[in-house]
Structure 1
Amino acid sequence: MAYSKPILDEEEEGVLLVLESMLSNFHAIMSILQSPDLYRRMFEAVNTKEVLLLLICTALLVISLVRLTSNNNRISCWFNSITNFTLLNSFNISSQFDQGSEWSKEGHHCYIHSTQGRRPCNEDRAETRTIKTETGDVHLYTVMDGHGGEFCVNYVHSVLLKQLENKIRQIKIITSKKSIEIKTDLFKEEFGEVPSCVKKYWNGGKTLSSTEMNGLKTESSSSEGQTTEARCKSDDFEYKISDTTYSDETANTKSTISREQIVLTSGRKCLEELPMPNQLEKNNSKTPITKRTKKFVKSTKMKSEKAGKGEEKPKGPQIVDYIGSNGELLYAKLMREEILACDKELIKRAKKAGAIGGTTLLIAILDKGTLWVANVGDSRGVYCSENGQVGPLSFDHKPSQLKEKRRIEAAGGFISLIGVWRVQGILATSRALGDYPLKDKKVVVADPDILSFNIKDLKLDFAVLASDGLWDTHSNDEVAEFINNSSKDGKAVRYLAEDSLNKGSQDNVTILLVNLNKLIQ
């Protein structure tokens, strides 16, 4: 059976002719490229000193023009990524921390300098803040070394410091020696309504436990052999309990009245057993204990359900959980939980934004002569005393460390040597904030190590917090010696950063210097 040729209109014939022309041109170009004479002529034309010199000069001119432009725009970051043989996250959102590739900052007896090394962009961040409180100034210092883009380091820089500052100010107001009325007004003025846990803390005094702050007050003695009388309290009852030795008659009645017959249940507390009150044992013949138990459980359950409907349970730690028994601020607990909470929220946001990078964190808080230092990653802090003794404020988290290596391998990961030891062959630090692909595998964590130092007892002169770009070329003693032989000001940290780059540091270098001796005086 024969098929007739389809009839084409003028437009279809025109398109067909264009396609045929393009196909013929393609065949012609391919035939030329496959000819050996073409490559021989091109090699002879390029293989002259004049042409090679011209190509080199043109390449250097293009590189110089691009590097003269702003280092924060996407084109420059993309070009620098090519010259450094990496394109990792070079198209991330531009940084809100717009201070360029090199910047300096001064605080109260504190000096910061940051300079860009051979990296696509300067992802380091550093900050100093003085928090005015009711009981005196609290100083906060931090250095962060971002990697794989600026999203994570910008988030931590903008969120974590603000959260810490707010929590410190709240606790200082709560624990101040002013009257409750004045403290209430101060709290409302800055932070809004006073939480119920704070009101209970004020009413109960400084010895309240965490369970009492949550609304359930229980004071009982649980140690064996204790003969003192304890009092158990809940929302609906109050009984006196005495841990005295039972006589033989009491032991005989234990078959009818046992501990299992009285239980305490509440919407806020798990089911637990209570000792038998003596009063109930005396009245056992008149009122069966089983009936009283049923009524007691029922009434407690109903009231707890009603209370649960009107009052929501708090999520996470409350502000009074960071106050010690003597009214002191528990900085170690505050820093740890705020860092972990920030990292948890950061991972959620990073997954939505597709930001696979992360950041290290080195943060120090100075309050009343005590310096608290929390570290996550391979940024490092050192101190120098008045007599020249040098010591570490933190310890690096490197995959090659035995403790970190065992933790990584226990999580099913590995470390490999690619220039330096890396987690999964990727990250050169074993702890960081962000880095959600590695966090999902549980091979990288954000748990901080926290140390405290008494400035007066150790007679500390100054402290240096810096990113790993400095420590790649300088030891702790070398940094302390450099600062001791300098003016200990902004020029000193700038010269130290330049010295690190001159000695071959490939990374960004950010240095924060605190003159602790002058600050305490």
Structure 2
Amino acid sequence: MEDELEDRVLYQTYLSFIKILSRFTSSVPFDTPVSYLWKMVRLYFLRSEVLVFTLGVVIFLMYLQTIELWSRTLLSRLSQAMNPMSVQRMKFLESSEADKQSWELKGTLSAAYAIKGRRMHMEDRFIINEDINSTGISLFAIFDGHGGEFAANYAKDHLIQNLFNKIIELNAFKDGKTISTPIKESPEEPKPKDHENSISVERKTSFKKSASTADDTSKKEITDPDLLAQISKSKIITREVRPSKPVINVSIPLSSYLDKGKINFGKLLTDEVLAADRLLVEAAKRSMNVAGTTALIAIMEGNHLIVANVGDSRGVMCDSRGNAIPVSFDHKPQQVREQKRIEAAGGYIAFNGVWRVAGILATSRAMGDYPLKDKKFVIADPDILTFNLDDHKPMFLVLASDGLWDTFSNEEAVKFIKERLDEPDYGAKSLTLQAYYRGSVDNITVLVINFLQNRISSAAISQ
């Protein structure tokens, strides 16, 4: 009896609950959009036959996709089997494309390695010229282009060739000799008679192939859409080509570059960089080319090192104690000296990811960049630093584009190379690739000059 009474109580409670719930639900209007949509979904889409049909369609589509992939694989294998030459050609094209990702150059005492990295185009250029024409003078350079390859190519071809010729002329002049005909020899292609002084070249592809000259700028216009867009937005920068006086090449007497019987490389580098920049700007204006480039040039004669820097490529030397000695300093818009100069010219700097001149260029000095050069917001005047190597007894020197310095400090780069100086390229390749692995998004070029190798060679000769 007690059990039956309990069941009845529970049953009555249940009925009371249902009645209360029904009254509550009956008071809620079912003509709202949400309730109507739910009703349609429940009546038409959640039915068992609809669900089964939808599942069948999904399985059928997956089956078709699998069949398509399988058929493509089969056809490609059949074509390879029927035409093996096409496979070899495809592999050749793949290897050629891979070859364009890196460049390397090996000298007797120096080596360079460069990669395109995560950029669409390679705009870095580098030069290794050891013992120019048996003068005992060596020339090294790195050019980091921006806005296109035109400016870097121009500097590599024209500035370096002019320096090459002037060094030979000055070396002969100080010894009382004269050179009647201009030197046409290319710095990278020594004459056969100087084979013993030539450097062994081992490159994935030649920078020379992509070189542009002032004569064909009207045929090949290299511009950067992003840079052009920024220039168009700027209120004070335009791409208008203003009439300018023709550039007159002033012949500077060779004697002005001699100081107590020695070549004044600082004056030579300054004059040649500024002269090349004037010609570059005029050539760029003719083709409306806004490209520019940094320039880091090092000249070695005996125990003297002379470094000229324009922009934010950088050089660092490792002394006998393993300390990092800067041989150049970056030209950045936020530096007090540079900011004052830019503002005095009527310009400004703005933060756009990094500090930029007029919100456009991340370096305050460069060759080219004619829209900014016309306003004198950007200049090409190089900073010259001279070092007596006997004071530092260096182990090696590293010259690199800012693609390296975006991920490495001077001290880190010196430590890294010091541990790999016994590699065939003196650690240049390892350092370049390590900068890429660390996340550098720029082109990366590293040039290493091994002074220890020079000492070993000199010791062997004396013995």
TM-score range, shorter chain: 0.5 to 0.7
**1:315: how far off?**
2.6
| 1:139 equivalent in structure 2 | 138
Q: What is the match of residue 343 of structure 1? A: 277
CA contact (8 A) 2:426 2:448 kept: no
- Report the 3-state secondary structure (helix = DSSP H, G, I; strand = E; otherwise coil) of the residue aligned with 1:188: coil
Distance 2:262 2:305 in 1: 14
Using the TM superposition, give the Cα deviation of residue 111 of structure 1 relative to its aligned residue in structure 2, in angstroms: 0.6
Once the two structures are superposed, the pairs formed by residues 188-199 of structure 1 within 5 Å of their partners are 188=180
Q: Tell me the CA shift for residue 68 of structure 1.
A: 5.3
Matches within 5 A, 1:290-301: none
In the other structure, the counterpart of 2:151 is 152
TM-score by length of 2: 0.63
Q: Distance in 2 between matches of 1:316 and 1:407?
A: 30
Give the Cα separation in 2 of the matches to 1:491 and 1:393: 19
**Residue 152 and residue 503 in structure 1: after superposition, are their counterparts in 2 closer, same or farther (change >3 A)?**
same
Shift in Å, 1:165: 1.0
State the alpha-carbon separation in 1 of the partners of residues 367 and 129 from structure 2.
21
Instruction: Describe the shift of the 1:389–1:163 C-alpha distance in structure 2 as closer, same or farther (beyond 3 A).
Output: same
Look up the SS of the partner of 1:451 in the other structure.
Answer: strand
Q: 1:376 to 1:488 in 2, by over 3 A?
A: farther
Aligned position for 1:77: none
Matched-pair contact (CA < 8 Å) for 1:115–1:510: yes
User: What is the TM-score with the length of structure 1 in the denominator?
Assistant: 0.56
Matched letter for residue 153 of structure 1: A
Asked if the contact 1:114/1:508 (under 8 Å) is kept, the reply is: yes
After superposition, residues 31-110 of structure 1 pair within 5 angstroms as 100-110=100-110
Describe the SS at the equivalent of 2:362: coil
- Structure 2 unaligned spans of 5+: 1-53, 70-90, 185-247, 459-463
Greater than 4 Å deviation, 4+ residue runs: 48-51, 67-72, 189-192
Taking the aligned partners of 1:157 and 1:191, their CA distance within structure 2 comes to 16
Q: Tell me by how many angstroms 1:334 deviates.
A: 0.3
Decide whether aligned partners of structure 1 residues 190 and 338 sit closer, same or farther in structure 2, where only a CA change above 3 A counts.
Answer: closer
Are 1:415 and 2:349 an aligned pair?
A: yes
Q: How far apart, in 2, do the equivalents of 1:506 and 1:314 lie?
A: 39
| Paired amino acid for 1:111 | A
Cα deviations by residue, 1:22-78 (Å, 9 ceiling, x for unpaired):
xxxxxxxxxxxxxxxxxxxxxx9xxx9979xx8xxx9xxxxxx9x959669xxxxxx
The match for 2:263 among 314, 329, 343 is 329
Matches within 5 A, 1:384-395: 384-395=318-329
With over 3 angstroms needed to count, the CA separation of the structure-2 counterparts of 1:131 and 1:416, relative to structure 1, is: same
Q: Aligned partners of 1:190 and 1:160: how far apart in 2?
A: 15
Query: What SS does structure 1 have at the residue aligned with 2:427?
Result: helix
Give the Å deviation of 1:132: 3.8
Q: How far 1:191 moved relative to its partner?
A: 5.5
2:310 corresponds in structure 1 to 376
Residue 162 (structure 1) aligns with: 161
Letter of the structure 2 residue corresponding to residue 456 of structure 1: D
User: Separation in 1 of the partners of 2:95 and 2:293?
Assistant: 26
Instruction: Give the drift of 1:454.
Output: 1.0
Q: How does 1:208-223 map to 2 (within 5 A)?
A: none
Q: Which of 389, 407, 410 pairs up with 1:476?
A: 410
For residues 315 and 161 of structure 1, the distance between their equivalents in structure 2, rounded to whole angstroms, comes to: 18
CA contact (8 A) 2:270 2:382 kept: yes
**Residue 82 of structure 2 corresponds to which residue in structure 1?**
none
Q: Displacement, 1:174?
A: 1.0
Tell whether 2:255 aligns with 1:320: yes
Q: CA deviation at 1:119?
A: 1.1
Q: Distance in 1 between matches of 2:383 and 2:157?
A: 22
Matched, 1:494 2:429: yes
- Secondary structure of 2:271's match? helix
1:188 partner amino acid:
S
Aligned residue for 1:406, secondary structure, equals helix
Task: Work out whether 1:357 is the aligned partner of 2:291.
Answer: yes
Alignment partner, residue 440 of structure 2: 505
Residue 173 of structure 2 aligns with which residue?
174
Cα deviation code 1:393-433 (max 9, x no counterpart): 10000111111111111111111111111111111111000
Gaps in structure 1 of 5+ consecutive residues = 1-43, 59-64, 73-98, 193-312
Task: Give the 3 Å change call, closer, same or farther, for CA 412–133 of structure 1 in structure 2.
Answer: same
The match for 1:457 among 357, 367, 391 is 391
Give the alignment of 1:298-317 within 5 angstroms.
315-317=250-252
Q: Distance in 2 between matches of 1:314 and 1:396?
A: 29
Aligned to 2:130: 130
Q: Whole-Å Cα distance in 2 between the matches of residues 329 and 438 of structure 1?
A: 33
**Structure 2: how far apart are the matches of 1:145 and 1:315?**
28
Whether the aligned pair in 2 keeps the contact of 1:131 and 1:165 (CA below 8 Å) is: no
Contact 1:140 1:364 in 2 (8 A): yes
Q: State the 1:130 CA deviation.
A: 2.4
Measured in 2, the distance between the counterparts of 1:131 and 1:351 equals: 36
SS at the partner of 1:460?
A: coil
Instruction: Report if the CA contact (8 A) 1:356-1:435 is conserved.
Output: yes
Q: For 2:141 and 2:132, how far apart are their aligned partners in 1? A: 18
CA shift at 1:316, angstroms? 4.3
Q: Do residues 403 (structure 1) and 375 (structure 2) align?
A: no
- How many residue pairs match? The answer is 312
Q: Distance in 2 between matches of 1:510 and 1:156?
A: 16
Q: For 1:96-127, what per-residue CA distance to the aligned partner results, in whole angstroms no more than 9, with x for missing partners? A: xxx82311110121010001122110110111
Secondary structure of the corresponding residue to residue 490 of structure 1: coil
1:258-283 CA-partner distances (Å, limit 9, x unpaired): xxxxxxxxxxxxxxxxxxxxxxxxxx
Q: CA deviation at 1:492?
A: 1.6
CA deviations over 1:169-194 (Å, ceiling 9, x no partner): 11111111xxx5xx24xx236659xx
Q: In 2, Cα distance between the equivalents of 1:462 and 1:446?
A: 28
Paired position in structure 2 for 1:284: none
CA deviations on 1:104-162 (whole Å, 9 max, x unpaired) are 1101210100011221101101111124457x411000011001111111011001111
Report the residue type matching 1:363 in the other structure: I
C-alpha deviation, 1:362, in angstroms:
0.3
SS of equivalent residue, structure 1 residue 126 = strand
Once the two structures are superposed, what CA deviation does each residue of 1:284-313 show, in whole Å capped at 9, x if it has no partner?
A: xxxxxxxxxxxxxxxxxxxxxxxxxxxxx9
Is the 1:124–1:508 Cα contact (8 Å) retained in structure 2? Answer: yes
Describe the SS at the equivalent of 2:262. Answer: coil
Distance change >3 Å, CA 132–CA 69, structure 1 → 2 = closer
Counterpart code for 2:142? V
User: Cα RMSD over matched residues?
Assistant: 3.0
